[in-house]
Amino acid sequence: MNGAETVVKFLEDHQVDTCFGYPGGPILVLYDAIYKRNFPHILTRHEQGAIHAAEGYARVSGRPGVVIATSGPGATNLVTGLADALLDSTPILAITGAVARKEIGRDAFQEADITGITDPVTKYNYLVMDPASLKPILEEAWELTTAGRPGPVLVNIPKDLLSAEIPESHDSFSSYARLRPKPLKSELQIDHVVRALSESKKPLLMLGGGCVISDLAPQQIDRFVNHTAMPTCLTLMGIGAVKPQAPGYLGMAGMHGSVQANKALGNCDLLLAVGCRFSDRAIANPERYAAGRTIIHVDIDPAEIGKNVKPDIEIEDDAGDFFRCLNQALPEKFSADWQEWQSYLTDLTQAYDKAAAPLLKVSEPLLPEYTLKRISDLLRQYNPIVVTDVGQHQMWAAQYFDIQTPRSFLTSGGLGCMGFGLPAAIGAAKAAPGRLTVAVVGDGGMQMTEQELGTLYDLQLPVMIVVLDNQTLGMVRQWQELFYHEHYSQSLLTTNPDFVKLADAYRIPGCNVHTAADLDQAVEQAIKTNGPYLLRVFVRQKENVYPMIPAGKDPQDLIMPGMDL
């Protein structure tokens, strides 16, 4: 086989059932092999759409998403998605074409040093220069995508090597191993954790994205919270790790998290943080946060432990393995003096629900909070996958969508990448055939990758696109209102396209939504369509996302209109 056929055969051997990509000159021989072997490939309309779709596929399936791009601009168009995948721990195998080996470094047509460019935004990357090393490099790259903390790996293959004959037998090389101290696994520290929990008066469990990624974790977390009723909050990436009905559930913590979750985060005397990285959006000022409380940090990535907050007990382990060990170590009748703390948090929850109640009432124009809560209620029986873009709608979706299962809430967390929503929803729907997927996008982010409506039409996937149209870059406008004296500099989108007509141009049905009755009818029609459908919902322009913690402030310094905090 030649190099291109070797790549396709490798993907077939690893049961890859689809990949996303866009062809170009240096990688045409690979696309010829894809054609000859009838390998399943989805043509997106832009390379950024391809890698976001691969992210969506990987997040739902738990398997590496595969993306293919040509050299130069094709490869550089993947950079944003690679950075997004690295921050949000998404396994991606990116295969890019390169100019011929003899042309490397000579500024050949469409040459770009993608190896150097992507070094900071991948777990590892390769430039293949020896035909005999192609297969071993692909094997190692595949393993690296999911080893430890998942992430993106890129393999760059010169076009002449794709055409070259690849030896049938070759010496494989083993994966590299980092030399570092022996990790402090759960078994070595679990007695300290149990003792700390027993002695605590105001504990809090914070679950991050690692608790969703670990397939074992949700089951073990459910067992733990039902056994202990320990107050529990989620990071944005941790949504879905535990059911909202679980004992002690407080909702999302962070800049736009619930009042009760943030008050718990700011006032707890013990924080058990599992599978999260203490980002600035979760705890604001990490330098001030650690004082006055015991912190237990569990993460599979040793680089995250102690990076932002120095823990008292550190455990390098998979979230599922940690909770398995913890459940085994807990006494059958676990008891702790948490009643006063739990009552305080229950009162806060009730007060927050009362303050937020006006946001869930029918109005004209529609409030985005009401809109997303109503859609969530109407779709509850379908257990949809919810995919968001980035902005105000992202936070409202996190607050008001009822997510019952892991891998059912997808968003760009660490990078905050506008344009993520629509292509990621396509990948998510592809990974879960027949399951309803809801893409919640803003009018700004929608216009960054709207060309992927063409991809969606080709695939006829059951994706309900909800465009919250407030004719503004909502989150930017909110900050300008609150912190920049209402100087709405370049944040108003007064010339938005007619998104329904745009969808129609791609032969996708849709409708405009102005009233509550319109909304109910549109959701019903979208369900009946059993394919792509677009709702353009006109919502109040100057609606702000609350609660809100101002940048640099602590979790307890949040703002929530209607509550005396």
Torsion over CA: 31, 35, 36, 41 (sign): positive
Nearest CA to 7 among 67, 92, 63?
A: 67
Q: Is 243 a catalytic residue?
A: no
Nearest CA to 556 among 200, 201, 292?
A: 292
Three-state SS at 271: strand
Distance CA 466, CA 469 (A): 9
Q: Which of 475, 499, 543, 548 is catalytic?
A: 475
Distance CA 217, CA 197 (A): 19
Two structure tokens written together for 425: 């929803």
Query: How far lies 278's CA from each of 123, 249, 297, in Å?
Result: 20, 19, 9
Sheet with 19-21, strands from edge to edge, namely 41-43, 19-21, 65-69, 92-98, 152-158, 124-127
Two structure tokens written together for 57: 């596929």
Residue 480, Cβ neighbours under 10 Å: how many? 19
Three-state SS at 29: helix
Three-state SS at 131: helix
Q: Could you identify the residue written with the tokens 């809801």? A: 438
DSSP H or E run through 367: none
Residue pair 241/212 in contact (Cβ under 8 Å)? The answer is: yes
Nearest CA to 462 among 379, 521, 529, 387?
A: 529
Residue pair 426/53 in contact (Cβ under 8 Å)? The answer is: yes
Q: Is 109 a catalytic residue?
A: yes
Dihedral class, residue 285 (left if φ above 0, else alpha if ψ from -120 to 50, else beta):
beta
Q: Which of 109, 201, 354, 501 is catalytic?
A: 109
Q: Which of 10, 39, 140, 159 is catalytic?
A: 159
DSSP letter at 307 equals T
Q: Which of 5, 47, 452, 543 is catalytic?
A: 47
Nearest CA to 439 among 26, 53, 76?
A: 53
Q: Could you identify the residue written with the tokens 């009552």? A: 343
Q: Which of 9, 110, 185, 307 is catalytic?
A: 110
Report CA 444 to chain centroid distance, whole Å. 19
Q: Is 369 a catalytic residue?
A: no
Query: How far lies 415's CA from each of 213, 279, 300, in Å?
Result: 18, 11, 20
State the Cα torsion 454-519-439-214 to the nearest 10°.
-150
Report CA 382 to chain centroid distance, whole Å. 21
* Residues recognised as catalytic: 47, 109-110, 159, 475
